[in-house]
Chains A and B, each alone.
Chain A
Amino acid sequence: MAATEPVRPKAARSQGWTAGGPVSGRDTNLIRIGIVLGAAILWEGVSRSGWLFQDVVPSLLAIGAAIGKMLVNPAFYANLQVTAGEVFASLAIGGALGIFTGIALGSNRFLGAAFEPYVYYLAPTPRIIFFPVMIMWFGVGAASKIALGALSCFFTVALSTAGGMRGIDTVLIRVGKSFRATPWQMGMKIYLPAMRVPVLNGIRLGFGTAMVTALLAETKLSNQGLGYMIMQIYSRFDMPSLYALLIIVFIIAGAGNLILGRVTGTNA
């Protein structure tokens, strides 16, 4: 190695911005282990030192124990079921409306120009502020969370569907026409497969927004669901359990995202 490129190591140092031999998998794992260990030690150190109230930064052991306890707590599963039901109902309603709207906006340039700006600019507004309205319309139960979740993921799915429709390589459409495909064949064999990725990606992102919104709505006003559970634990100042539940929720969200990504073949 040294014989083939004797000058290289020195040169590489002065070219820091483009430095790069291949990174080995072992190095990557070492760095990961290092970061995790470092963070854990720091955390535990802070926890034991008592610099912050011990309650705020509980020992990792306490958090671990709380996670274990949470996982055998039937109330957790009952609330998880409620939230999951809300999220999937939101996704089904908002996603279906979004795909329908997206196809309308993406296939017709005039409709797109007329209405897409509204969808586009409303999409990133803070959806949770519509919650009071949803409560007025649908009551304090699960329906208002479903409505809010559906509203949130509608925009995401509609925009990515419209974008996907417009993003279809026009030459593929011309290929279809040149082979004299019927409208049905164009839809099934060209538009549908060509739009698959953006639409599924929109659904994946929509799942994320629907979940956050439903959970936040639950923290605000509800009597069941994981969001409600978080607020209950918070009101007891049971910090280990709060960390435990948050960690579990993040893992569920991450797993959901990962699974949808795998299923749909889109990356995070």
Chain B
Amino acid sequence: MADAGAGRSRWAAPALGAGSVIAIFAALEILLKTGIVNRFIVPYPSAVLLSLERIIVEENVLGRVGETAFEMFFSCIAVILIGVPIGTALYRYRALRRAVEDWVAALAAAPLVLAFPLFLVLFGRSSLTIIVMSVITGLAPIIIKTTEGLAGVRPVLINVGKSLKMGDSQMFWKILIPAALPVIFSGIRLSWTFVLISVVGIEFLINLGGLGQLINDLAERYDLPGTYAAILFVVGVSVCFFMILERVETWLRPNP
């Protein structure tokens, strides 16, 4: 049903959203000026925006992004290389799936990141700690979604493969994987989101590496606008990361 209002609100809604964000910042600026909000707790929004530049130039943000990206890269690859085969095994061996499915689900809900002190002991304060911890955190969704995706392949497609006398590996690469790919990728997206949270979070917690450490450093120096600007920057980077993943996912999904 074509609604007459739809054309109007296409721009009105995002405008309201963005406008509200700007209005909140403007209001904050005024409240700070008048002293209603304490300047020693909340910096001027304008000062935060100005510090963005300072941070990028002086604090070697690009280098830090690189460091975080390096840890992300290895974690993300490892998550796929470990998670997809496990998910496939759980699909193929139903008894195994029945046996450990609940465990994997419990793993997904467990606060695994808390184990980071354990890995500090094992690997010291190094990137390896961050990577290993992040892989463990990100593994469950990809395993679950791989199994789910493969199990959800329409039986008729498998029957087509059988009727063409396809072998096991042909069946896997030419039918099962392509058919399950959208679901598997949604698992990848979830896993990579977990990985990002974990990488930045542990960087912050153990004060090592890229963007997470930046926030920690600035906070410890009590650089108020700097801390806020760095948080803003990290939030921005993560949002971009999610948006890209989401684009890829919609692109992979077959059009209805």
A residues apposed to B, CB below 8 Å = 14-20, 23, 27-29, 31-32, 35, 52, 55-56, 109-110, 113-115, 117-118, 121-122, 124-133, 135-137, 208, 211-212, 215-216, 219-220, 227, 230-231, 233-234, 237, 239, 242-243, 246, 249-250, 253-254, 257, 268
Contacts and interface: CB of A to CB of B under 8 A. Distances in A.
A212 to B, nearest CB: 4
A121 B239 contact: yes
A52 B123 CA distance: 11
A125 B120 contact: no
A15 B155 CA distance: 13
Interface stretch (B11-19, B25-33, B50-58, B74-82): B11-19
B197 A246 contact: no
Given A20-B94, A128-B201, A253 B110 contact: yes
B117 A121 contact: no
Nearest to A235: B117
B47 interface: no
B120 A234 contact: yes
A250 B121 CA distance: 19
Contact of A129 (B112, B121, B215, B243): B215
Contact of A121 (B115, B158, B162, B242): B242
A253 B17 contact: no
B62 interface: no
Interface string B103-146: 00110111111111110111000000000000000000000000
Q: Is the interface of A mostly helix, strand, loop or mixed?
A: helix
B101 to A, nearest CB: 10
B99 A129 contact: no
Contact of A28 (B99, B162, B172, B200): B99
A55 B110 CA distance: 25
Contacts of A129: 200-201, 204, 212, 215, 231, 234-235
B234 A121 contact: no
A16 B158 CA distance: 11
Interface in B136-193: 155, 158, 162, 168, 171-172, 176, 193
A56 B9 contact: no
Nearest to A29: B99
Interface of B: 9, 12-14, 16-17, 20-21, 41-42, 92, 94-96, 98-100, 102, 105-106, 108-118, 120-122, 155, 158, 162, 168, 171-172, 176, 193, 196-198, 200-201, 204-205, 212, 215-216, 218-219, 224, 227-228, 231, 234-235, 238-239, 242-243
B177 to A, nearest CB: 11
Contacts of B114: 212, 215-216, 219, 227, 230, 246, 249
A236 to B, nearest CB: 11
B121 A113 contact: no
B17 A219 contact: no
A239 B121 contact: yes
A122 B112 CA distance: 22
B205 A124 contact: no
A16 B168 contact: yes
Contacts of A128: 201, 204-205
Contacts of B205: 128, 216, 219-220
Contacts of A253: 109-111
Query: Which 9 residue pairs are nearest across A and B when measured between Cβ atoms?
Result: A113-B13, A132-B219, A234-B117, A31-B99, A114-B17, A114-B16, A212-B111, A126-B200, A114-B13
Nearest to A256: B109
Which of A19, A31, A35, A55 has most chain B Cβ within 10 Å? A31
B17 A31 contact: no
Nearest to B216: A132
